[in-house]
Amino acid sequence: MAAEKTGEAYKIQILEKQLQFTEKLKFVTNRIHAANNVNEILFQLKNDILGLFDAEGVTIYLIDPIKRQLISKYLVGSAIKEIRVPISHASIAGYTAHDVKMVNIGDVYDAKELFAIDPNLKFDGSWDQKTGYRTKQILASPILFENKILGVIQLINKKTQPRFTKIDEKSIGEMARVLGIAFRNQSRMLHTRFDYLISRNIITDEELKAATALAREQKKDIETILMENYKVKKSDIGMSLGIYYKCKFIEYSPSVFIQRELLKGLNVAYLKKSYWVPLSLSDRKAVVLIDNPRDAKVLDIKNLIKANEYEFQVALREDIIKFLEAPEFDFGASGSMSDILAEIDVKKEEEDEAVVIESEYDEKSNTIVRLVNQIIIDAYEKGASDIHIEPSKIAKKTFVRYRVDGVCMKHLEIPLTYSSPVVSRLKIMASLDIAERRLPQDGKIKFIYKNKPVELRVATLPTVAGEDVVLRILASAEAMPLEALHLSASDYTNLKEIISRPYGIILVVGPTGSGKTTTLHAALAYINTPEKKIWTAEDPVEITQEGLRQVEVKPKIEFDFARAMRSFLRANPDVIMVGEMRDRETAHIGIEASLTGHLVLSTLHTNSAPETITRLIDMGIDPLNFADSILGILAQRLVRTLCKKCKEPYHPEREEFESLSQSYGERFPQLGIVYDDKLALYKPKGCDECNHSGYKGRAGIYELLIGTKDIKRVIAKRGTVEEIRQQAIKDGMRTLYQDGIAKVFSGLTTYKQVRSVCIQ
């Protein structure tokens, strides 16, 4: 009987506490919804919120949507300080936001308890170490509105019990719901394009009014005044504009590729005055950058650019001007590319196509000179490796295409009648015979842009539509660090070991444009010390390094690789690098040099490391000498890498995972990758940074064959390619295909890109 009364009393006590909590929650809820901004909730109402719970402390985090971080603000005097926490398993609040789960922990320093929640969960004790405070219990709940994460509320240290209770969990859930509604309402209350800055306490109302008055007085835009006078970051202004206009904010970047077709008929002076610029037109969708997406000039834009769908993105006026003054538009004092194209188009309309065979322009015309110069400048600015000039009688146009990251893209169209003057101008620049149009020719152009030398290799080829021209851009560059080549850990260790040997031969193999020279120079940079004399023979010298004695071969005067190497051997070298082993004589001298105490590095055009060995033996190289000299062969390809800014994670189906693991082979478990709910691969999405392709830049995939005793034995016996390959795999070689799959799992590229450059 006494027990029943005690139970009833306990139930009444719990009910009373719940009623008290409900009353207090109503009071705090009303105060939260009456707050003028988010900062008022974080600072002035924090104690009211804490008063609802039997806890020592409470921390409220907001989401920073730009950096994908949690932000907690606190006052130090009158100054506002921030604590930033990544949305990840590296902290309890970060885990709560990442997995959108409530967390109740009895002892944050108990590794077993954390592991039971999630194997990757960690407690960040840096704040405890800094302040001397001892955090023990934590109860954290995500702050949501309509299933969208807006922040996290975290209670610290239960006062009267060893851990937070189920009632506490229910209570914090209620408070999180109230905060979610409040944060959402605060964002809806924004009614000017700078309210985000005020709500985040970046500027005050008074400062905004003062900035507005100063902008009016100095005839500048308010954004410029805020950045110059009030030190507001451009990223914060961009966030504010993006929220207000409900669109993407774009900053100027020279890597943003603008389609030429959109510029025809547009006056650059008008675009500068109106502050807008077209960015792209694909699948009948136009993307336009503008300073005010709600301005009436949007209607004019839709009349000028015909499309089924329009996407307007916002930018600062100064950035729009930068886009309009970029090389795509501007020839300096000579006028813009769009003006030149418009000039050519007007002249074309005046000509009778049935009568006119040649354009009135010739290779000395100012218009043609400016056009050719700008084609080269555009390619350099866009990071293109090649320029293709391609006349077409069917389309009655000449197409200009750039190869960027290994992929050709159309850049420009000019009338077919102006193809001959453009080709002749390029021939003059390359010191070629402009009268010879029946035979292929090749030469070089040395071009100066922004006080930097840009060298181009030129090749002309006669076609049925006229002469094609291909220009390879050889911009001078510095050596890449060896660790930046994206080698696997074992390949990196093995490569460092063999290039540190005093003598022997190392070959880097692959097709044209696969980055062999870059790899060789990275290896040379690693061993380039004052104690070593290093000679290089190259065609041409693309990468320069202090300490290297670099020679450019000139086959036209019979100064080839073989002759250069014979000269090097008389110049007391420690290391010799020869650009390519094109013939038996060069290969023979290289191997002889490696056997007489020199480290020799070179390249060869073969598909794989094992094939290189049989190729050299077929060229007449003694297999016994080659077996004695070989240190290693590195085969490589370049694959397009996913754009870091927009690549999209996804959880692969079991079938896709099994297919990749089976393709890799029996050594797949060595990668340490297992199929579970956390496994993520990445796919291309597309953004302005990568020209909506989803890919930006390239990286290498490799297979490194080391000259082990077993490999040397197979070479000496003139083993087949398959025998060499199997022995190399036994010795630990990861094939090109396997390295590519490993880089797919690392999120660097996609399986499609790997398959495009190598086969299993």
pLDDT tens, position by position, 85-110: 888 888 999 999 999 999 999 999 99
Instruction: Evaluate the CA torsion angle 219, 225, 228, 234 in order and state its sign.
Output: negative
Tens of pLDDT, residue by residue over 31-50, are 777 766 677 777 777 788 88
**Residue among 337, 343, 413, 339 at smallest CA distance from 377:** 337
If DSSP codes are grouped into helix, strand and coil, which group holds residue 638? strand
Among 96-100, 128-132, 604-608, name the one with the lowest average pLDDT: 128-132
**Residue among 581, 534, 533 at smallest CA distance from 560:** 581
Q: According to the model, what pLDDT value does residue 722 have?
A: 92
Among 75-79, 346-350, 441-445, 717-721, name the one with the lowest average pLDDT: 346-350
- Long-range CB contacts (within 8 A, 24+) of 740-744: 740/637, 740/639, 740/701, 741/660, 741/663, 741/664, 742/488, 742/664, 742/671, 743/486, 743/639, 743/699, 743/701, 744/660, 744/681
**Residue among 485, 236, 383 at smallest CA distance from 691:** 383
Chain position carrying tokens 């306490």: 201
675 φψ region: left (φ > 0), alpha (ψ -120 to 50), beta (else): beta
- pLDDT-derived band at 404, boundaries 50, 70, 90: confident
- pLDDT-derived band at 359, boundaries 50, 70, 90: very low
Among 129-138, 148-157, 357-366, 712-721, name the one with the lowest average pLDDT: 357-366
Is 423 or 691 the better-scoring residue by pLDDT?
423
Q: According to the model, what pLDDT value does residue 152 have?
A: 93
In contact, 754 and 760? CB cutoff 8 Å: no
Q: Give me the amino acid identity at 269.
A: A
**DSSP character at residue 690:** G
Tens of pLDDT, residue by residue over 267-288, are 777 888 889 988 877 667 888 9
Residue 332 clears pLDDT 60, i.e. is over it? no
Q: According to the model, what pLDDT value does residue 256 have?
A: 65
Q: Where is mean pLDDT largest: 174-183, 357-366, 490-499, 580-589?
A: 490-499
Tell me the pTM.
0.55
Distance CA(385)–CA(362), nearest Å, equals 27
Average pLDDT over residues 286-309: 85
Among 77-86, 146-155, 321-330, name the one with the lowest average pLDDT: 321-330
Residue 66 clears pLDDT 60, i.e. is over it? no
In contact, 595 and 470? CB cutoff 8 Å: no
Is 25 or 344 the better-scoring residue by pLDDT?
25
**Residue among 77, 76, 44, 79 at smallest CA distance from 60:** 44
Q: According to the model, what pLDDT value does residue 312 have?
A: 92
In contact, 633 and 705? CB cutoff 8 Å: yes
Omega before residue 623 within 30° of 0, cis:
no
Distance CA(715)–CA(624), nearest Å, equals 7
Average pLDDT over residues 681-686: 88
Question: What residues contact residue 518 under an 8 Å CB cut-off, 6+ apart?
Answer: 480, 485, 543
Q: What is the DSSP string of 360-421?
A: S--TT-HHHHHHHHHHHHHHHHTT-SEEEEEEETTTTEEEEEEEETTEEEEEEEEEGGGHHH
Percent share of the chain, pLDDT over 90: 26
Residue 235 clears pLDDT 80, i.e. is over it? yes
Is 3 or 354 the better-scoring residue by pLDDT?
3
Q: What is the DSSP string of 46-93?
A: HHHHHTTSSEEEEEEEEEETTTTEEEEEEEETTEEEEEEEESSTTSHH
